[in-house]
Chain A
Amino acid sequence: MKIPQLIQYLNNLAGVEGCYVASSDGGILGKEMSSIFDDEILSEVAVNVSNVMETFKAELSACKELHFEMELKRLYVRDLGDSLLLVLVDELDQLANIRVAANVVAKRFDRGGEQASPERTPVQTTTSLFGPRRKKETKPKPAAKDGGGGIWG
């Protein structure tokens, strides 16, 4: 399965708001996302997601998927080997189905092994894998909501 097919397949699923495929250095390999997210934003998101994935692999070697539950959006990520599949999820109830579908396309994608050329030059960042990205803070801010809340706002 090639990237455009993969993206089309996932975007037809209930609960998917949009998705894209990016290399670990932020190169956008294919996308079908709302126009509010330009390539620079998507690239920066992908670089940070890639860093989270690589960091987790230090303790969870078989880590292949991530789910970021944020105040305004939910982001599901599937490791495709040399690249990442990033899916904006608008219905949490559909996450299990999206995970199944992503695992299916990841296997087909792996077998196909054919990847498109990046549409753009990756954004240069100063992010390093084991160093803090920002100088302003290195610890999560507390949340104020009762019974749960943001761990980093």
Chain B
Amino acid sequence: MSESQTLPVEPEKINQIDGVQCHFQTDRDFVKNYSSSEEASGLGDLSSVCLNFASGVADAGGFGALNRLVAYADDSKFALFALNPKTATPPGPRIFGIKMSASTNLEKLVSSINQMI
């Protein structure tokens, strides 16, 4: 796998957000540039596969581009989403995969991370 030239966004700050259990980040080409743990790395690996199938969902239904994918388990959830800087130049768009507690408010979390970019 090639190495990403994009630096991760404030990984330690994101790890410290209440409810966050682990997370990974990738660049616009889905090349990982940060994993907080082995679990996060594993989630990153399978997320690329999931995105491919998820694009099949969007394509088949004519639902438009996929903006966010959330998987819910009993006591946690995992969200995959993209955030982009205001100017689409380097460091460019980034993709985040975050596992968090079930009670974490995803909208607030995304908003917090968006402010870090």
Q: Decide yes or no: A146 and B78 within 8 Å by CB, A55-B49, A68-B58, A133-B53 being known contacts.
A: no
Using a Cβ–Cβ cut-off of 8 Å, how many residues does chain A contribute to the interface with B? 49
Q: How far is the CB of B46 from chain A (nearest CB, A)?
A: 5
- In the bound complex, what is the Cα–Cα distance between A61 and B62 (angstroms)? 30
The verdict on A139 contacting chain B, using a C-beta distance below 8 Å, is yes
A144 and B61 contact, CB distance less than 8 A: no
Interface residues in chain B, defined as those with a beta carbon under 8 Å from any beta carbon in chain A: 28-30, 39, 42-43, 46, 48-58, 60-76, 78, 80-86, 88, 92-93, 95, 99, 110, 114, 117
Can you list 30 contacts pairing A with B, beta carbon distance less than 8 Å? Answer: A48-B53, A51-B53, A55-B49, A56-B50, A59-B42, A62-B73, A64-B73, A65-B71, A66-B69, A66-B71, A67-B68, A67-B69, A68-B57, A68-B69, A71-B63, A72-B62, A72-B64, A133-B52, A133-B56, A134-B52, A140-B55, A142-B82, A143-B65, A143-B93, A147-B83, A147-B117, A151-B66, A151-B95, A152-B58, A153-B66
Interface residues in chain A, defined as those with a beta carbon under 8 Å from any beta carbon in chain B: 37, 41, 44-45, 47-49, 51-52, 55-56, 58-73, 75, 99, 127, 130, 132-134, 138-140, 142-153
